[in-house]
Amino acid sequence: MRRDVSPTSAAIFWSIPLASSGFFTLDQAQPTGLRSPRSSLHVGHSQPRSVFKTLRLLQKPIPDEKKRLMRGRRESLDPHWRTSGQGLGQQATGCGATIGVHPGCDFACTGCHLGAEANRVRSIGLEQTFRQLDQLRAWLGPKGNAQITDGEVTLLPTEDLVAILCYARHIGLIPIVMTHGDTFRRRPGLLERLMTEGGLTEISIHVDTTQRGRLGYKNVRDEEALMPLREECADLVRSARRKTGLPTRAATTLTITRQNLDGVPHVVEWCLRNRDVFGVLSFQPVAQVGRTREGLPGVTVTELWNRIEAVLTRYGLTRRGEGALTFGHPECTRLELLGVYQRAGDQPRLLTIVRDGCEADNEMMRAFFQRGLGGLKFRDDTLFERVCRSAGVLLTDPRWVLGPLRRWILERLVVLGTNAPQLVWDRVRRTVSIDSFCVVSHHFMNSAELATEKG
């Protein structure tokens, strides 16, 4: 069983226009009595928000509800962690996950968070799942990230999983299915069905050497041996996109022990090359919880990030500390949100969004939040919504957008060896690409560690 933790908890919450993508949208109104487990509830990709509601983005690119919820999160933080680069309460309201949707799993991994009774516990059913999603919607607000998870949720009847995805969409959440991915390998067409019938736009696939039960991969000893599997999973996502004509963002997650720690650089390198699919890479050092094998050796934050940065520095990352952007407690979550600039035939160049020790970057970040732009997200917007939301940002403070922000962006382009007209021309000719790549780590504690002052 994989670690059921969001690979996007920090990464997507920190998504700003540079890191945004997606074309799916949905009315974010509250639900109105949709409770039937087998109802005709269906949310397709062709249900745009009304023109009137979209035009309101010109006035309010970030919903008032989201702003209110973020204020509450920030006020709940210890003052010590209310830093200028703190994402919780400034850019995001938090993350949420379902519990009891499908407690069982067909894997028997050495680093498993499930309890010993997981495969004997009955699912809570759709009625209670919908009520959980209502609670998540109230806590997270519009475009909240809802992890559809528990054990292995792709083992649910397809109609039930589709209904869960549709309901999450209907109430204004963005659901992400957390999975080991083998069900998609065994059941061709399932991913496409979740996309077309359930409106699925985000998926997380967990692949590492701690897993037991993988089709065709028994007793794998190192992460390099799993590269063909990662290629297969990437091809599954690319194929689903082609067949449906719909966008789907994917992340990949790994449980890290001392036994597979040295494989981390290989996975970072592979994901950077395949960021068109796995643009978010999440590591979770093992913790002694659930059914995790007793004595399975863990790793420290420093040990993990030494391996990660050994790769990122080869592509231009410059790091003097832990980074300016945080999400919650820095001992819990650490991330690198990076822009990626690549000319045809050249290797990618990484661009840190907020550079360490750069006052110009920090000032721009503070100005962004001071103007009430925290929580800005373009994920799953239609093209029309993107245009209106972007115009809404401009109208928030035209002098700042066209002045300091524009100059800051142009200065960053100079560092890359280009300028705005050249970049536009290169994009038209498709000789350059600009996208994003995020690496995040989530660190967990067992009950004894939680009882300490640090916990």
What structural domains does the chain harbor? 17-380+430-450 (3.20.20.70)
Residue 63 Cα distances to 9, 159, 176, 241, 301, angstroms: 20, 32, 22, 30, 36
Q: Are strands 333-343 and 349-352 parallel, antiparallel or unpaired?
A: antiparallel
43: tokens are: 């949310």
Calculate the average pLDDT of the chain: 88
- AA letter at 279: G
Reported as a single tens digit per residue, the pLDDT across 86-139 is: 999 999 999 899 999 999 999 999 898 888 888 889 999 999 999 999 999 999
The confidence score (pLDDT) of residue 251 equals 97
Nearest CA-CA partner of 341 in 289, 277, 407, 415: 415
The confidence score (pLDDT) of residue 49 equals 65
What ranges make up the beta strands (E) of 273-386? 278-285, 333-343, 349-352
Residue 279 phi, psi (nearest 5): -80, -10
CB neighbours of residue 380 within 10 Å? 22
Strand order in the sheet with 202-206: 96-97, 144-148, 173-179, 202-206, 249-256, 278-285, 432-442, 333-343, 349-352
The confidence score (pLDDT) of residue 35 equals 38
The confidence score (pLDDT) of residue 139 equals 97
Residue ranges, the chain, pLDDT below 50:
1-40, 42-46
What DSSP character marks residue 326? Answer: B
Nearest CA-CA partner of 278 in 201, 204, 178, 181: 204
What ranges make up the beta strands (E) of 215-263? 249-256
The confidence score (pLDDT) of residue 10 equals 40
The confidence score (pLDDT) of residue 453 equals 82
Rounded distance, CA 178 to CA 7, Å? 9
CB neighbours of residue 290 within 10 Å? 16
Which SS3 state, helix, strand or coil, does residue 351 take? strand
